[in-house]
Structure 1
Amino acid sequence: MILSALLTSVGINLGLCLLYFTLYSILRKQPGNVVVYEPRWVAEEKSKQKRHFSLEGFLPSPGWVGRAWQLSEEELLSISGLDAVVFIRIYIFSLKVFTFAGIIGVCILLPINFLGDQLSFDFSDLTSKSLDSFSISNVDDGSNRLWIHWSAVYIFTAFVCYLLYIEYYYISSKRISYFYASKPQPHQFSLLVTSIPVSSGSSVTESVESFFTEYHSATYLSHSVVRQTGKLRRLLSDADKWYRKLVKLKAKNLTQKRFTRDGFLGLFGRKVDLLDHYENKLQDIEENVHMEQSSVVEKEVPAAFVSFKSRYGAAVALHIEQGVNPTEWVTEPAPEPLAIVQSLANLSQLETWFPFLESILSLTFVSEVITGYLPSLILQGFQWFVPPIMILLSSIQGYMALSQIQKSACVKLLWFTIWNIFFANVLSGTVLYKVNVFLEPKNIPVVLAAAVPAQASFFISYVVTSGWTSTASELFRLFPLISSFIKKKFAGKHDEDFEVPSIPYYGQIPKIVLFGLLGVTYFLLAPLILPFLLVYYCLGYIVFRNQLLNVYEPKFETGGTFWPIVHSSTIFSLVLMHIIAIGVFVLKKLPLASILTVPLPLLTLLFNDYCQKRFLPIFKSYSAESLIKKDHDNQNDPSMPEFLDKLVTAYRDPALMPINYSGRNDSHDSLLQHAAEV
């Protein structure tokens, strides 16, 4: 790519960003768009949007930037939780890294590259100059100036490792503080038990009660057995749909428009009163619900949510083997009780149909290979469908909690993205695909050193196109805007029908990490990419602070456990840079620099090992000291007895709870209440 082509791309994408910002600053002021641009405040009835026409509302203004900038970390913590704070700190960390890298790269390395004589250059036509002239490829072979590049690699690595340590220490401390300050949560006191052995003549409920009463008598509180309620949930969904129709019909109070035909599209069949039709339909479904609820009591799955009187009691039961047979009484953390995950109802079917899935997908190597070697065509043609596919794979893998599913999907999507965006473009058509390269790993640094710089112009353009424009479009929210318009104009839905979205961490974090990989890798090779990366991270920092303030509402809280993924990815990026640097110095006929670079990846991996031993256990589970201290603090909390009473019912399947849409009262409720209690 020549310089003029890059400038053209920058101009187009910068224009698109300004267009998105301008439209956003105008559209966000319109009363009809408040559910698109401030949904979380609409849900909490705090929106200050004016509900009347104003000429000022059609003038763009940058006021939203100031509000997003002034949002403090403590305010963000109280609004969106620790995960949001960690998400923003990923941007802050990246800004620190690439500001430092930009100073060295642009002010020192870039001029050295530009003044090299390796590539021919005509100063009379600067705009037609290849971007390769700004890369290390333009430095003369064997030049002593390459020692400046070698020094820069060491200095940059030391600085990034220092920041990684500081950030890991800060977030781990924040995680503990957040835990101490948090209110009791049901999932802190509970766990999910699967593969429950059931003796002949007894039920799952009796087995769970007997086992935990005997072996955890001091801390066991209650349990809720999982049942197969798929059909019941569908009936309840239908009941809810017809009930909403009935309520809207009664609210309209249009007697003359209540009569229609019950056939296709209201054009065929007998003429009926919609009010009576809806009520009869609702009563029929309610009868079916009661019958299904009565029968589902016996449809037990060998799995149960078990709750304890203390966090420490739950932790002890979670982290030790429950029985002499390790394949029975398998425990895992309980998901957040937003709702019982539907896949739980199908545990027995999954074990019967796909008994090999969990063991295969749980292997890190297999998971990474499958997601990494999916054809690049999938990413290019179906990039919108890749994140949901990763969510599906994580669900099949056996994760139940939404937080666990998103964390697993984040790792899968990260490796998929790194392979299909970076390696597939860099290595496509090179000899690295030949088997003999893998049989001789010593050739890999040289192959990477030859292949990676050749794609510098592509990745600079990619940062501008995919980074700048996609971040600005996140602010504009085109698809939610169109969806809101269609619902209002054609479906007749209003503000009360919307749902506040949650930020898809699993989709955004891999993108941030990918651009970090590009910046670290090309810091040595083509530092021209660094200013464009800084613009991307600045945009992301402001845009997502605004979105977390006004748009997204957290649906779960992991306590900042996404950070170890970013830490490990940064270490991977550094080691990849070192390997490429070794090959570059070999190609540039500076073997001594290549030899002196060899210790650097080893030192980086040793540093990573220290960080993982020092900090990672804090992110996997809370210490006994933390749990017992928190339990002791709660003993003096007057609201704790009420919480424990609610904990008994926290994991009961909502599908088994009594319903009464029609206002009738019958004997089913006593049976359903009994079913809910077990």
Structure 2
Amino acid sequence: MDISALLTSAGINIAICVVLLSLYSVLRKQPSNLCVYFTRKYVAEPVMRSDPFCLERFVPSASWIMRAWQATDEEVLSVGGLDAVVFMRVVVFSIRVFIIAAMICIFLVLPINYYGQEMQHKQIHAESFEVFTIGNVKEASKWLWAHCLALYVISCSACVLLYFEYKSITKMRLAHITGSPPNASHFTVLVRGIPWSPDHSYSDSVEKFFSTYYPASYVSHQMVYRTGTVERLMKDAEMMYRKLKTAEPQRAGSSMPCCICGGSTHSFKILKNEAESVKSKTSVDVLQPNHREKECPAAFVFFRTRYAAVVAAQVLQSPNPMLWVTELAPEPHDVYWSNLSIPYKQVWLRKITILLGAIVFMVLFIAPVTVVQGLTQLDQLSHTFPFLKGILKKKYVNQVVTGYLPSVVLMLFMYAVPPTMMLFSTMEGNISRSERKRSACIKVLNFTIWNVFFGNVLSGSIIRQLNVFSSVRDIPVQLAKAVPTQATFFTTYVLTSGWASLACELIQLFPLLCNVFRKFILRTREEPSSWALTFPYHTEIPRLLLFGLIGFTCSVLAPLILPFLLAYFFLAFLVYRNQILHVYITKYQSGGQFWPIVHNTTIFSMVLTQIIALGVFGIKKSPVASGFTIPLIFLTLLFNEYCRKRFSPVFRRSPAQVLIEMDRQDEQCGRIEEIYSQLKAAYNSPLPTDSHSQDPSTSGSRRSNQDQESSRDPESLKPGSLRCGKVMPTTEQSGRICEKCQSSIVLPRASPREI
């Protein structure tokens, strides 16, 4: 591909980005789009802006860029949590590394590549992209030391920056643990694989086991129950009851004409207390099976101190590792309840099955990748399809097909990957939403690295020659031959999947269309909290790391990609920070657990880059450069081992010293009893059951879940939520029934506060 085709792709993507960014700056000013572009504030307090009509609302502006640029890490932390800060640190790390790489490669390596052969150069726009790669350097050139020096500078800079980032994020994680208020998950252990006994229920077995072996630290437990049709119906009925109870009461005797027949209407009857609706004479409980039949072999066990919970979670409980399996419980709002009922003995089988399914999916995806690579090689494409020769000879069609179409086709195929991997992670049996998203992130990352990077490199080689590798020793050589030739595709992929995807992320096309359909076609006023989204870490982190891999491998071999890559990361910094501050809702977080994935992938990218460079230096017959590259590989692996020993354990386990100090602070402040009173209420099953479990304050006594005090989580303070058994006021719709035709109608809710 020549530079003109690359410029064509860049021009198309720049035009798309400019149009979408301008459109976003206009759409975000419209009052009807507040729930799309300011979802966080709209969910916290539904408002309606009454801005008068003015021309400024329809003029594009860059004010959002300045606000995103001026936002601090403290603001991101308070809004998006530690995971959002870690994500933004990944973007900042990439910017810093590739600024260093661009400075040394553009001014040192690129001129050597361009003048590597004695040839008559054309004008820049007519030059082939391969002229700017290391493939243009002649064999045994004395200038290959510059490439080796650039490789050393990039690798050392990346290691230094990685070290400081890992150290900083580790401190933030410890501060997140120590600085957060007492959380029920710190005192709770999830127990699975509870052995079945014909004489005792699961609840009795849990009570007997932990009372016997943890008599000083065991407080109580909460069983996990299976979901059934009756339970789901009761949950829906309770939700409808709460909506009706929190509706604005109408005055006695008030009526209004029916919009259907013109008759008068009367209000729905609002029951005075919960007992009238839930505990009626003909209780639904008689339709349910007894509690023992509904129990799952899983339970939440509560301990008196954080340290006791950590010890119980990490110790092997029985000689059979498949029984009494313990782990720290996720946060209450992070629990994925539907997977808790999966027997623990099935989890390993599910993981193996999902692994095989993911591998099959990755292998099947090679077919569209090979088709995409066929579009980048017009001579083979014309030979395979002779009827396309006339069309492909046209200059503009040639530039579009080779410079823009392949990356677009691959990007469209890639849209099916994240939902599939999220489904796989759900079927895998993960017990928390954050763990499910983290598992999906790893699967999407492995998929994109294999299919987008290795798939394109190897499929490009397969098109040229059927025998790719004759032995394992030829892998560095074959990669060294293939990667520089595929640098053109990777550059266009950065433009299409990078620049354009960021613009689409900012415009929020799907939520925007849903909002238009909801407001102007359905004309409903549904609260946006039901469709507010969390940040898609499982799609965005793999994209960032894939571009990092492409940047590392192509920085020395094809430095021309670095300016386009830097433009992507700068735009990503602004777009993602804007989305975190205004759009996405933080419902749960992993506490920075994504950073080890980032670190390991970056180390893999660096080592792969060094191996490919070693193969290139071997092809170019430069023993000096090859000899200096081998120690760099071992030094990088040694650095990774140091980080794995120094920082990685903090992300797997909580330090005992920190936990004991936190327990002592709770004792000094007198918060122990308050914490105990909140434990069971925090992990109440979403089903309306009156399960039997121990009281947190006394061992052996039992009481109903309805008698427990509600959690003091900030999420429970939203309108319509329960706290201490009371319903807070809300602005739900008030229902009425026509006295003449008995048809139900809905009155409009109270108007939100105007600002």
TM bracket (short chain): 0.7 to 0.9
Distance verdict in 2 for CA 1:432–1:382, change over 3 Å: closer
- Pair 1:373 & 2:349 matched: no
Q: Counting helix residues as a fraction of each chain, which structure ranks higher?
A: 1
CA contact (8 A) 1:242 1:278 kept: no
2:424 aligned to which of 369, 393, 417: 393
**CA positional deviation for 1:100:** 0.3
Paired residue for 1:187? 185
**Counterpart-to-counterpart distance in 1, 2:330 and 2:367:** 35
1:596 to 596, 605, 628: 628
Task: Give the whole-Å Cα distance in 1 for the aligned partners of 2:257 and 2:103.
Answer: 74
CA distance in 1, matches of 2:310, 2:354: 22
CA deviation after TM superposition for structure 1 residue 359, in Å: 5.6
Aligned to 1:664: none
Q: Residue in 1 aligned with 2:84?
A: 84
**Counterparts of 2:48 and 2:662, CA distance in 1:** 39
Q: Is the 8 A contact 1:77 1:84 kept in 2?
A: yes
Q: Does 1:626 align with 2:618?
A: no
User: Residues 235 and 687 of structure 2 are in contact (CA less than 8 Å); yes or no, is this contact kept in structure 1?
Assistant: no
Q: Does 1:565 align with 2:565?
A: no
CA 1:285/1:625 → structure 2, altered by over 3 Å: closer, same or farther?
closer
- Tell me which amino acid in the other structure corresponds to 1:580: I
Q: Are the structure 2 counterparts of residues 122 and 439 from structure 1 closer, same or farther at C-alpha, using a change threshold of 3 Å?
A: closer
Corresponding residue for 2:329? 334
Letter in 1 for 2:600: S
Asked if residue 29 in structure 1 is aligned to residue 29 in structure 2, the reply is yes
Structure 1 residue 310 displacement after superposition: 1.4
The aligned residue for residue 152 of structure 1 is 150
In the TM superposition, what is the alpha-carbon distance from 1:51 to its structure 2 partner? 4.0
Residue identity opposite 2:218 in structure 1: Y
Residue of structure 2 aligned with 1:449, choices 473, 480, 485: 480
Match of 1:503 in 2: 535
Query: Contact conserved, 1:226 with 1:303, CA < 8 A, in 2?
Result: yes
Change in Cα spacing, 1:654 to 1:416, as seen in structure 2 (3 Å) is same
Shift of the 111–406 alpha-carbon distance from structure 1 to 2, 3 Å rule, reads: same
> How far apart are the structure 2 equivalents of 1:11 and 1:429?
25
Partner of 1:610: 642
Tell me the distance in 2 between the aligned counterparts of 1:625 and 1:215: 24
CA contact under 8 A between 2:193 and 2:324: conserved in structure 1? yes
User: Which residue identity does 1:66 align to in structure 2?
Assistant: M
- The reply to whether residue 402 of structure 1 matches residue 404 of structure 2 is no
- Name 2:10's counterpart in structure 1: 10
Q: CA deviation at 1:370?
A: 5.1
- Per the TM alignment, residue 647 of structure 1 is displaced from its structure 2 partner at its CA by 0.8
* Amino acid in the other structure paired with 1:219: S
What corresponds to 1:133 in structure 2? Answer: 131
Query: Identical aligned pairs, as a percentage?
Result: 43
Deviation per residue, 1:317-360 (Å, 9 max, x gap)? 01001112221101122122127534236414x85xx5752462
Deviation at 1:146, TM superposition (A): 0.7
Query: What SS does the aligned partner of 1:144 have?
Result: coil
Asked whether the equivalents of residues 235 and 285 of structure 1 are also in contact (C-alpha less than 8 Å), the reply is: no
- With over 3 angstroms needed to count, the CA separation of the structure-2 counterparts of 1:674 and 1:179, relative to structure 1, is closer
- Preserved CA contact (<8 Å) 1:460 1:529: yes
Distance 1:339 1:105 in 2: 45
State which of 317, 324, 327 in structure 1 corresponds to 2:319.
324
- Confirm whether residue 202 of structure 1 aligns to residue 200 of structure 2: yes
Mapped to 2, the partners of 1:316 and 1:172 lie a distance apart of 22
Cα separation, partners in 2 of 1:164 and 1:638, compared to 1, 3 Å: same
Q: After alignment, is 623-632 or 296-305 more displaced?
A: 296-305
Deviations 1:373-420 (A, max 9, x none): 342357846533321221222222221111111111111110001111
Residues 520 and 573 of structure 1 are in contact (CA less than 8 Å); yes or no, is this contact kept in structure 2? yes
- Aligned-residue CA RMSD in angstroms? 3.4
Tell me if structure 1 keeps the 8 A contact 2:334–2:588: no
**Superposed CA offset, 1:66-115 (max 9, x none):** 11111111121122211111110000000000000000111111111111
Secondary structure of 1:99 counterpart: helix
1:227-626 to 2 correspondences below 5 Å: 227-236=225-234, 238-239=236-237, 255-257=257-259, 290-293=285-288, 295=290, 298-338=293-333, 341-344=336-339, 346-348=341-343, 357-358=349-350, 360=352, 369=359, 372-376=362-366, 380=410, 382-430=413-461, 440-494=471-525, 496-499=527-530, 500-626=532-658
Q: Select between 24-33 and 629-638 the one with higher mean Cα deviation.
A: 629-638
Aligned to 2:570, what secondary structure does the other structure show? helix
Alignment coverage as a number of residue pairs: 646
Distance 1:454 1:245, change over 3 A: same
**1:265-289: CA deviation from partner (whole Å, max 9, x where unpaired):** xxxxxxxx9999999xx99999785
1:41-120 mapped onto 2 (5 Å cutoff) = 41-45=41-45, 49-117=49-117, 120=119
Paired residues of 1:311 and 1:628 also in contact (CA < 8 A): yes
Specify the code of the residue in structure 2 equivalent to 1:612: R
- Alignment CA distance shift 1:138-1:653 (3 Å): same
The answer on whether the counterparts of 2:347 and 2:428 sit within 8 Å (CA) in structure 1 is no
2: CA distance between counterparts of 1:587 and 1:527?
19
User: Do the aligned partners of 2:336 and 2:430 also contact (CA within 8 Å) in 1?
Assistant: no
- Note if contact 1:571-1:604 (Cα within 8 Å) is conserved in structure 2: yes
Checking the alignment, whether the CA contact within 8 Å between 1:372 and 1:415 is kept in structure 2 is no
Indicate the SS of the match to 2:425: helix
User: Are residues 1:635 and 2:667 paired?
Assistant: yes
Q: Which residue of 1 aligns with 2:169?
A: 171
Letter in 1 for 2:428: Q
- Cα deviation for residue 573 of structure 1 reads 0.4
Rounded to whole Å, the distance in 1 between the matches of 2:489 and 2:283 is 60
Quick one: structure 1 residues 651 and 237, their matched pair in 2 at CA, closer, same or farther if it must change by over 3 Å?
closer
**Residue 43 of structure 1, CA deviation:** 1.7
SS at match of 2:414: coil
Q: Distance in 2 between matches of 1:378 and 1:320?
A: 48
Q: Equivalents in 2 of 1:121, 1:675: separation in Å?
A: 87
Distance in 2, Cα, partners of 1:84 & 1:636: 33
1:449 CA drift (Å): 0.4
Q: 1:570 to 1:50 in 2, by over 3 A?
A: farther
2 CA distance for matches of 1:384 and 1:158? 35
TM-score by length of 2: 0.79
CA displacement at 1:147 relative to structure 2:
1.0
Q: CA deviation at 1:601?
A: 1.4
Structure 1 residues 234-243 or 592-601, which shifts more? Answer: 234-243
Query: SS state of the match for residue 326, structure 2?
Result: strand
